[in-house]
């Protein structure tokens, strides 16, 4: 059945063209998401016309409609502090590690090269366990990473700044400890040593207050826009697809 919005038909061609912007697990889900997006767009355009909002592109008229019809209060300090108190774990500075490594590079799909890289890494570890002070010299001599020029020093490493498999080992070492096994990653095998770790700490409210206010304001605006669109759907005559809408502004 052809989809229509208050008597305005949406062609199958328009829905198919919109599908490229809505990747999904299957074509049916993508088609539905595309159709819903076009319905919402048409409803906003129609409502802008009804309220006499004209001039500019369709996008400009829709934006003007939202700005006119959707208003949300700015979060006050009490609201922000309450959110901070309830989510303290989110407001911490990250742990920082001074990481050192020697990389023996090998492509992920080259079994022979990876076996050789592992053997070289294990040999380097054995040597360093006997002579720890040789780390920088071995890095300069053997590493396939540009950090070799710095004796294998990667500088300050926070979680997410390197590959997870490397960080798993690095962040669980003690200050000055050499990892006793060769660490495998997509790049090859690493000899890993932790210089020192600086534990993250809780950030005071004053430092994160602006970000909390921005987050809460955006979240409130997003909810309000969603509710406004639900109300438009609830008052619209949409055929060819089943949608959830609301006739009341109290919809949650």
Q: DSSP characters for 121-170?
A: HHHHHHHHHH-GGGHHHHHHHH--SGGGGGTTEEEEE-TTSS-HHHHHHH
Residues 163, 235 within the same domain: no
What total of structural domains would you count in the chain? 2
- Per-residue model confidence (pLDDT) at position 157: 93
Q: What mean pLDDT do residues 210-217 have?
A: 96
For residue 56, give every residue at least 6 positions away whose Cβ sits within 8 Å of its Cβ, in sequence order, or none.
64
Regarding whether 148 and 116 lie in a shared domain, the answer is: yes
Is the same domain home to 142 and 192?
A: yes
Quick: pLDDT tens for 39-51.
Answer: 999 999 999 999 9
pLDDT band at 1 (very low <50, low <70, confident <90, very high): low
Considering the domain boundaries, does residue 211 fall inside one? yes
Q: Would residue 101 count as lying in a domain? A: yes
Confidence label for 244 from pLDDT (cuts 50, 70 and 90)? low
Q: Are residues 138 and 219 in the same domain?
A: no
CATH number, residue 189: 3.10.50.40
Q: What is the pLDDT of residues 102-158, one digit of tens each?
A: 999 999 999 999 999 999 999 999 999 999 999 999 999 999 999 999 999 999 999
Residue 246 inside a domain? The answer is no
Residue 210 CB neighbour total at 10 angstroms: 10
pLDDT for the residue 199 = 86
Q: How far apart are CA 69 and CA 142, in angstroms?
A: 65
Residues 190 and 130 in one domain: yes
Give the pLDDT of residue 248: 42
Q: Decide if 87 is inside a domain.
A: no
- Considering the domain architecture, whether residues 183 and 100 belong to the same structural domain is answered as yes
Q: How far apart are CA 119 and CA 71, in angstroms?
A: 64
Instruction: Note whether 58 and 137 are same-domain residues.
Output: no
In a domain, 178, yes or no: yes
What count of residues does the chain have?
A: 252
Residue 189 shares a structural domain with residue 101: yes
Within a domain: residue 16?
yes
Report d(CA 81, CA 213) in Å as an integer. Answer: 10
Average per-residue pLDDT in the chain?
92
pLDDT at residue 243 in the model: 77
Q: Sort 144 into a burial class: Cβ within 10 Å, 0-12 / 13-18 / 19+.
A: middle
Output the pLDDT for position 9: 94
Q: Is the pLDDT of residue 203 over 50?
A: yes
Q: In the predicted model, is pLDDT for residue 247 greater than 80?
A: no
Residues 104 and 62 grouped into a single domain: no
In terms of domains, do 111 and 160 share one? yes
Say yes or no: 110 and 189 in one domain: yes
For residue 138, how many other CB atoms are within 10 A of its CB?
Answer: 18
| Domain limits for position 175 | 96-198
Is residue 248 domain-resident?
Answer: no
pLDDT beyond 90 at 250: no
In a domain, 81, yes or no: no
Q: Cα–Cα distance between 35 and 45 in angstroms, integer?
A: 15
Confidence bin at 99 (pLDDT 50/70/90): very high
Q: Confidence class of residue 252 from pLDDT cuts 50, 70 and 90? A: very low
Tell me the mean pLDDT in the region 6-16. 92
DSSP conformational letter for 229 = H
pLDDT above 90 (res 186): yes
The enclosing H or E element of 217 equals helix 205-235
Q: Specify whether 194 is located in the same domain as 231.
A: no
């Amino acid at each position: 059945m052809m989809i229509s919005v208050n008597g305005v038909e949406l062609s199958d061609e328009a829905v198919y063209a919109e599908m490229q912007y809505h990747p999904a697990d299957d074509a049916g889900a993508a088609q539905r998401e595309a159709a819903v997006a076009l319905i919402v767009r048409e409803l906003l355009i129609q409502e802008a016309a009804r309220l006499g909002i004209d001039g500019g592109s369709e996008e400009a008229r829709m934006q003007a409609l939202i700005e006119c019809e959707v208003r949300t209060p700015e979060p006050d300090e009490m609201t922000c502090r309450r959110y901070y108190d309830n989510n303290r774990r989110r407001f911490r500075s990250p742990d920082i590690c001074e990481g050192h490594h020697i990389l023996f590079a090998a492509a992920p799909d080259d079994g022979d090269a990876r076996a050789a890289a592992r053997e070289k890494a294990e040999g380097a570890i054995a040597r360093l366990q006997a002579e720890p002070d040789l780390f920088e010299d071995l890095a300069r001599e053997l590493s396939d990473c540009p950090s070799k020029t710095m004796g294998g020093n990667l500088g300050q490493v926070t979680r997410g700044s390197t590959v997870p498999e490397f960080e798993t080992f690095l962040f669980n070492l003690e200050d000055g400890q050499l990892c006793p096994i060769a660490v495998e990653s997509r790049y090859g095998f690493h000899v890993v040593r932790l210089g020192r770790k600086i534990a993250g700490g809780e950030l005071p409210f004053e430092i994160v207050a602006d970000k909390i206010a921005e987050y809460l304001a955006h979240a409130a605006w997003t909810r309000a826009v969603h509710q406004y669109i639900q109300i438009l759907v609830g008052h619209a005559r949409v055929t060819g697809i089943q949608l959830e809408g609301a006739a009341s502004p109290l919809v949650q």
